[in-house]
Amino acid sequence: MARALVTGASSGLGAAIARALARQGHDLVLAELDPATLGPLLAHPDLTGRRVVPVTLDLRVQLSLDACFAAACAALGGIDLLVNNAGRPLSVPATEVTWEDWDAVTAVNLKGAFFLSAHLARHCIARGAPGAIVNIASTHGLVGIAGRSVYGISKGGMVQMTRMLAIEWAAQGIRVNAVAPGTVLTPSRQTMLADPARRQTMLDRIPLGRFPVEEEIADAVCYLAGAGAGAVTGQILAVDGGVTAA
């Protein structure tokens, strides 16, 4: 795989994934709601020497999604790998979730990812070429947790979407897998974990006794996207320090 489309690429996991793919020789289309936010990533030395194209993407809008994929293919001559990383969080008790909350979260985390995946599949099938999709799910899609119902439901849907599409497109050589991160030590999480007591409470739930870091999620994506995982499809790789195994 040499040409990748990464959604939600401006910071956090998306930026780490883009950097890791670039180091492995991928040319990149980086999709963001506001491409101006991609500036720091575009200037990163890991991207030096690679073709890197920023594009606008609003996963809630079909025309934006269609235009994004068309622009990606035009810019790089095709796409071999899709990383569905863009996501919308929500921490609200289930009894307080609004109709609008539900639509906002599921439109990005599930509906948009599904239809972008279908674009890649049609593109690969039309060319008679293999392809790969790596979805960024979450441990919230594998286990229950209070206060994150809609987010967890959307990620649980992504987990099952991964399996369903893997089976449907296997004969066409399109592999579909997912990475399910636990609590990852991103810059934004550093603020959330500034309280020592809260940090320790969360660490006590992790068998390995530490939080995964962005680079470990990116490495998992690279593995699933690469030739070494050529016989791997329909799998959910939890990178969570052992939380879901306990």
Known catalytic residue at 223:
no
State the residue for tokens 């994004």: 68
Active-site residue, selected from the candidate residues 151, 152, 184, 240:
151
130 φ/ψ angles, rounded to the nearest 5 degrees = -70, 170
The β-bridge partners of 81 are 4, 132
Q: Please state, in angstroms and rounded to a whole number, the distance separating the CA atoms of residues 62 and 115.
A: 8
The β-bridge partners of 177 are 134
Give yes or no for a contact between 233 and 175, defined as CB atoms under 8 angstroms apart. yes
Tokens for 135, please give them: 């979805």
Rg (CA), the chain: 17
State the catalytic residues: 151
